[in-house]
């Protein structure tokens, strides 16, 4: 498949992008996360899930708004889940997706020039 099926979810923590030079490994890990969201379809999926009632959305509600085929949507959702940004909860016939709390904020904190204040220090 096109995505790595066995990566540690989000090894990037308090990576000081702007404070000191990133190592090759740090840069690779961070780029893996960024590549996961550097796609219009996946960005829209994230915002659709986040804005949905209850913070979770059924896959069947995500196919039409994107204008993409069902296999393609399923593929993008898998990428986001593998990246540790979404959780998948299969209830009966339907699959419900929800944001992983703090995942996007951790990413934002790494990019931020100022020291991350939006996350509890326990995140490190």
Which parts of this chain interact with DNA (CB under 7 A)?
Answer: 1-3, 35, 38-41, 58-60, 63, 68-79, 88, 90, 92-95
DSSP assignment of 34-72: HHHH-SHHHHHHHHHHHHSGGGEEETHHHHHHHTS-HHH
CB-based burial of residue 100 (10 Å sphere; 0-12 exposed, 13-18 middle, 19+ buried)? middle
Q: Restricting to residues 2-61, name those near a copy of itself by CB under 8 A.
A: 16-22, 24, 27-28, 30-31, 34-35, 37-41, 43-44, 46-48, 50-51
User: Which of the 8 DSSP states describes residue 22?
Assistant: P
Is residue 123 a contact residue for a copy of itself (CB under 8 A)?
no
CB nearer to DNA: pick between 94 and 124: 94
CB nearer to DNA: pick between 24 and 122: 24
> Cα(75)–Cα(1) distance, rounded to whole angstroms?
10
- Asked if residue 45 lies in contact with residue 76, where contact means CB atoms within 8 angstroms, the answer is yes
Binding site residues, a copy of itself, CB under 8 A = 16-22, 24, 27-28, 30-31, 34-35, 37-41, 43-44, 46-48, 50-51, 65, 99, 101-102, 104-105, 107-114, 117-118
């Amino acid at each position: 498949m096109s995505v790595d099926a066995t990566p540690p979810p989000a090894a990037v923590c308090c990576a000081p992008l702007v404070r000191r030079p990133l190592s090759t490994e740090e840069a690779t890990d961070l780029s893996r996360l960024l590549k996961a969201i550097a796609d219009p379809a996946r960005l829209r999926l994230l915002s659709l899930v986040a804005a949905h009632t209850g913070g979770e959305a059924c896959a069947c509600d995500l196919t039409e708004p994107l204008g993409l085929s069902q296999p393609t949507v399923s593929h993008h959702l898998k990428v986001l889940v593998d990246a540790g940004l979404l959780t998948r909860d299969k209830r009966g016939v339907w699959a419900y997706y929800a944001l992983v709390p703090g995942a996007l904020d951790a990413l934002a904190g790494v990019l931020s020039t100022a020291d991350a204040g939006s996350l509890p220090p326990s995140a490190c």
